[in-house]
Amino acid sequence: MARTRRQSTPRASGTAAVLAVALACTSSSSRNARIEEDVGGIGLPARPPACREVAAGSALQVLLDSAESGSALCLAPGEYTGPLRIGAGVTLWGPREAVIRSSGAGTTIRLEADGATVLGITVDGSGGRFDLLDAAVRIEGKGVRVEGVRIRNAVFGLLAEKSKQVILRGNEVKGDPEQTLGMRGDGIRLWETSDSRVEDNVLQDSRDVVVWYSSRNLLLRNRIERGRYGTHLMYSHENRLEGNRYVGNVAAIFVMYSRDVQIRDNLLADSGGAAGMGLGIKESGNLDVRGNRFVHNTVGIYLDTSPLYEDDSNVFEGNLFRLGDAGVVFHSSETRNTFLANDFRDLQACVLVEGGGDALGVTWRGNYFDDYAGYDLDGDGVGDLPYEYRSLANELTARVPALAFFRGTPALGLVETIGRIVPLFEPRLILVDPAPRIAAHEEDGTRAD
């Protein structure tokens, strides 16, 4: 039985209500609740024991140079001058009122020795050289920790290069919203960095969170808002992104040339504009994408030649797609992708295939489509007829993208009507789900039993 999509535009009030519900879901855990209470993540880390007191205005680098591994310096509130270098095993702690100010050139704090730690302070500024990656904090070492630090007025925020077992926890990085996206620096940048944790951080108005040539890292419960790429992975394998909240970015997550990546229980919302997407995937395989909420994005998921290798596959299970132009867009007729138990609701198109292709090579099973008009006589929660997706209007816009300008207008509405009632213009079959669910998952995005 062929079914077509309704070409209706969601009301703004409905969009706001559903987005508010999705946002509320992300702060259900105690750690995310703390992020809501203190924009600086987990708050001030505990003061180290046996800490040497440092008065404001002291020659801090001299004290750091004489500090032995395992020792700690505790700053009093006030201002200190950078740049600083922190040696192996040395901890620098301070309250937020302890401010390390940039000299106006270069990186402000360097942690280029194993076990160096910075806790709690504010870092104000960096140099302005993009080519030299001038940053508030730059890391190169093993077991380095930066926790509860507030960063302002820096080109780049937290940079880790050629490092292992780094912990970036509960930091706040604030970019400059007055700058265009391309002229802002990255909030967090991992380059050839492995086996590390990036968790409970808050990033606003920076450019990207970059994970390049970096494997086996955990990105957990971060809040990333109003950037370009919420998280951009490239040549980075076996990473896990879980419980993060992406709101108002151009692309929430983009995965390129990477394998064995887990993307679970994230909110990817309000990625608008022509390039807006929740999750972009290019030539990547063995992705496990489960339990995410894609809300009010231009495109929920965009797949381009993924998976690339014949032995790879991708699984998308238990995700919610709502209030967007398209739930899933395929660059071409992709194969070896499986969509299980997802919800497609309040979308202008659940699936689009660029270039006039189809998604018949994709496995669809147990998904909910809000325009399914079948029935469930045996009451098992599964439709007795397959869900078949056809849309003449979307077929035309896939072939001629400029026609997307007319979505929601009487013109494309008439095209859709013709596709339904005139056999001569019957659109091609795009996808078939042989066992569609009758009921959607609960509104809060939890999985049905």
Strands 109-111 and 135-139: parallel
* Contact status, residue 289 vs residue 311, Cβ threshold 8 Å: no
Q: Taking residues 89-107, what's their average pLDDT?
A: 97
Residue 73 resides in a domain: no
- For the record, the structure tokens of 147 come out as 């926790």
pLDDT at 104: 93
pTM of the complete model: 0.86
pLDDT at 420: 61
Q: Taking residues 349-353, what's their average pLDDT?
A: 91
pLDDT band at 35 (very low <50, low <70, confident <90, very high): very low
H or E segment to which residue 15 belongs: helix 12-25
pLDDT at 442: 79
CA distance 54 to 173: 25
Q: What is the pLDDT of residues 112-170, one digit of tens each?
A: 999 999 999 999 999 999 999 999 999 999 999 999 999 999 999 999 999 999 999 99
pLDDT at 427: 77
Picking from 112, 141, 109, 114, the residue whose alpha carbon sits closest to that of residue 127 is 109
Which of 104-108, 152-156, 388-392 has the least mean pLDDT? 388-392
Q: State which amino acid sits at residue 371.
A: D
pLDDT band at 425 (very low <50, low <70, confident <90, very high): low
Residue 60 resides in a domain: no
DSSP 21: H
Which of 31-45, 78-92, 265-279, 296-310 has the least mean pLDDT? 31-45
Tally of domains within the chain: 1
Sign of torsion over alpha carbons 438, 444, 446, 449: negative
Residue 28 resides in a domain: yes
pLDDT band at 77 (very low <50, low <70, confident <90, very high): very high
CATH code where residue 12 lies? 2.160.20
Domain of residue 379, residue span: 2-48+96-433
How far CA 342 is from CA of 43, 195, 292, 350, in Å, comes to 36, 31, 10, 11
- Size of the chain in residues: 449
Sign of torsion over alpha carbons 368, 372, 374, 379: positive
Which of 211-215, 280-284, 353-357 has the least mean pLDDT? 353-357
pLDDT at 39: 45
Residue 215 resides in a domain: yes
Residue 83 resides in a domain: no
pLDDT at 36: 34
Inform me whether the pLDDT recorded for 37 exceeds 50: no
- For helices 410-421 and 392-399, the axis angle rounded to 10 degrees is 120
Looking at the DSSP bridge assignments, the partners of residue 65 are none
Q: Taking residues 254-259, what's their average pLDDT?
A: 98
- Kindly report the average pLDDT of the chain as a whole number: 87
The 3-state DSSP class for residue 356 equals: helix
Residue 342 resides in a domain: yes
Inform me whether the pLDDT recorded for 16 exceeds 60: no
